[in-house]
Amino acid sequence: MKPLLLLVTVAIFCLTRIEAELSPGSPNVCLVHDTVLVSRRVSTTKPFEQVYYTSCTDIINLFRCTRRRTVYRVQYESKWVSQVQAVYRCCAGYVEVGNYCQAVCQPQCVHGICQSPNQCSCEAGWRGPTCSSACDNSHYGPHCLQQCLCFNNATCNPVDGSCACLPGHYGDHCEFFCPAGTYGESCRQTCQCQNGASCDPVTGACTCSPGFIGPYCEQRCSPGFHGDQCAQECRCQNGATCHHIHGLCECRPGFTNEVCGEPCPEGTYGINCSGTCNCHNGAVCNVTTGQCSCPPGYSGERCEKECNVGYYGPNCLKQCSCESSPCNPRTGVCQCLPGYRGKRCQHECQVGYYGLNCSHRCTCRNGGTCSPFDGSCRCPRGFKGEDCEDVCPQGMFGDGCRYPCDCANRAQCDPVSGVCNCSRGWRGPTCSESCTHGHYGKDCKELCLCENDASCDPVNGDCYCKAGYMGRFCDQECSPGYYGLYCKQQCLHCDNGTTCDRVTGACYPSVISGRTGDKVESLDPAGKHIALIIGVVIMVILLVLLIMVVVWYRRRLREEKQKRLNGLPSVVYQATTRPNDYTNADDIVAASVTDTKSSTDLPNPLYRNQPASGGRPVPTPPNMTNNVLFTSFKNLEMEKLGAVGGADEHVYAEADDYKLNRDPNELGACGGSDPRYEDMRTKLTNKGKVPGNSKRGKTRHPRRNKHTKESSSP
């Protein structure tokens, strides 16, 4: 039983030591080095004899022989070794209490705590080495280091410095006397003094104001006396009464000065002449009552009102005889307003004059009429300005040019009537209707001369030929070997020198001429492979020829550049598809030539003549049924030609800027310049699609479609 109790005691002691171990970061803890025994694990190497078996020539032991060898093994054992260890202990002057170090003071602190060895920290109100002495009356706080701030002989608390005030004072530092009406300790008692008397803040005794007497100053001075304690005698005359406070005389009406010995001066009236006459405009004031006597032309209690219009004389009782104008409120003479004349102002100003007495001449122009009152001009329709000197600005018409013109497509309107004067290519009341098919020009009165269902420019009557036709009036078919818009493309992609369709460029005789839905079948299914090989060979040959043509073409362009700039028109290309007979031409060619898509990219551009010297582009005719750009079909040959700086004056535009039935005037058809068109030209120039600058005489190349080559119309 005893060994078990001893073991429990040791365990509790160890746990207590572990819990009460000092922390290195705690205050007043020092590092001490002690030598202690520490158990260490030591390794040693020992030899051992090992028996093993190996193969040999011993037949008896079945070729197995016993062998011996010495091996070494590592063994470990524990040994006690001495070691210097760092231990944390309380510094000198401190003792360990629990898990912290506490300072020790000798002698002990009486009213304080031991803050550091032999150093006491006193409680508030105490001082001295052992905190055994109390603070004096002017200090407070720990060690009595704080100065008391109490006034008026107040007592200071030695602990917190608070002040205990004497009667008649208040405030945190007893610096204030009791406010008026209170007195005593903490100013909690209320004074009984009356009539503005002051109260002693300590005793509450009343000090009366002048003109009052009594214990609480509740009585006035007797008649004939005034001042402090009612000790002064009054000196008033003419039956005036004396004021009990300051002794001033209260005079009867009509008298003034300190003792009421003089009558009131002019302009004043009433008791002590304190009333001031408020009569205006020269009215006379009654010195007794202050009532005003008004002169002619005025009325009212103070004569402050002039006579109303149409009246004059004393108290405004007479009526004026003027027409359309007032009269003088005093004399009744008529005073004509601007725009009137005559003795009774019965006449307006004669034409051409205005203003006071009609003395000003009117300055209105262009038939404007002048107001006889202020001379302002009323302008006729179509004019504006202070003197009607300005014609209505463009886009406005009518009285005062207040109405905006309702004219579309840059048409101008008449400044008087607002009737629209339409530009070429437009008609209708607001010029919003384009010329109908077959008409063009001013008011769409001219007839188009285009043939073969060609579209006509509504502005200048230029013809826009459909694919397969050319000429000024689109009256000529393409020559053999050419096809497309204005017959500008050659049938170079057809095998064996065969010709092609003048509209779509499809090669004969593979195309079965007919309507939409016609099909082309291969003559021999096995021939597709041969056709593919032949097509590849032809493409290689065309590539070599293309390089030769580029070199030759650039040389020719340099020689004839000036000639083309002066004599040849520019063209604007725009892709379209034939609406009826050859809708599936791409599929026909694809089936007849190869399985690739190279032969299906058959272009069908639409273009028209354009001036070569920087003129504005004429817009796409509005009656074309399909004018979608072939921007997705590349023509490798002509793209290279355009990249090396050819001189053809072609201008390209994106598809979104030439939508179906686009308004011609919107893109500059009437000679204007549409901002979207100019932005498109700038964008394409930056992208390199339109090299050169037409204003400097440089030329531009279009991007041609695949399987096409530029050539002049036959």
| pLDDT of amino acid 623 | 39
- ∠ CA 221-226-227, nearest 5°, is 110
Across 511-667, the runs of DSSP E, i.e. the strands, are 570-571, 609-610
359, 498: one domain: no
| pLDDT of amino acid 571 | 40
| pLDDT of amino acid 13 | 45
Domain that holds residue 442: 434-524+558-696
Tens of pLDDT, residues 360-391: 999 999 888 899 988 899 899 889 888 998 98
Judged against a pLDDT cut of 90, whether residue 450 lies above it is answered with yes
Judged against a pLDDT cut of 80, whether residue 432 lies above it is answered with yes
367, 512: one domain: no
| pLDDT of amino acid 96 | 85
Tens of pLDDT, residues 28-68: 888 877 777 878 887 888 888 888 888 888 888 888 888 88
324, 345: one domain: no
Judged against a pLDDT cut of 90, whether residue 465 lies above it is answered with yes
Q: Are 652 and 684 in contact (CB under 8 A)?
A: yes
Judged against a pLDDT cut of 70, whether residue 666 lies above it is answered with no
User: Of 73, 102, 131, which closes a domain?
Assistant: 102
| pLDDT of amino acid 635 | 38
| pLDDT of amino acid 262 | 85
562, 628: one domain: yes
30, 133: one domain: no
471, 512: one domain: yes
330, 340: one domain: no
Q: Is residue 2 part of a domain?
A: no
Judged against a pLDDT cut of 50, whether residue 704 lies above it is answered with no
Judged against a pLDDT cut of 80, whether residue 429 lies above it is answered with yes
Of the listed ranges 426-435, 550-559, 658-667, the least confidently predicted one is 658-667
User: Of 334, 358, 391, which closes a domain?
Assistant: 334
Mean pLDDT to the nearest integer, 292-306: 89
Q: Is residue 538 part of a domain?
A: no
Q: Is residue 546 part of a domain?
A: no
The DSSP-derived string for 237-271 is: -TTPEEPTTT--EEPPBTEESTTS-EEPPTTEESB
% of the chain residues with pLDDT over 70: 72
Total number of domains constituting the chain? 5
Q: Is residue 229 part of a domain?
A: no
Q: Is residue 227 part of a domain?
A: no
End-to-end CA distance of the chain: 134
| pLDDT of amino acid 364 | 92
602, 504: one domain: yes
More confident residue, 589 or 303: 303
Judged against a pLDDT cut of 90, whether residue 670 lies above it is answered with no
28, 120: one domain: no
Judged against a pLDDT cut of 50, whether residue 113 lies above it is answered with yes
Confidence of residue 566 (pLDDT cuts 50, 70, 90): low
360, 464: one domain: no
Mapped onto helix, strand or coil, the DSSP state of residue 186 is helix
d(CA 459, CA 431): 13
465, 606: one domain: yes
Confidence of residue 203 (pLDDT cuts 50, 70, 90): confident
| pLDDT of amino acid 448 | 92
Tens of pLDDT, residues 594-626: 333 333 333 333 333 333 333 333 333 333 333
d(CA 376, CA 368): 10
| pLDDT of amino acid 212 | 92
Q: Is residue 534 part of a domain?
A: no
| pLDDT of amino acid 474 | 93
Judged against a pLDDT cut of 90, whether residue 590 lies above it is answered with no
484, 563: one domain: yes
More confident residue, 499 or 519: 499
The model carries a pTM of 0.28
| pLDDT of amino acid 529 | 61
Which among 109, 171, 169, 177 has a CA at the least distance from the CA of 142? 109
Q: Is residue 568 part of a domain?
A: yes
| pLDDT of amino acid 612 | 35
Q: Is residue 89 part of a domain?
A: yes
- Cβ neighbours of residue 337 closer than 8 Å, sequence gap 6 or more: 324, 325, 326, 345, 356, 373
User: Of 139, 170, 201, which closes a domain?
Assistant: 170
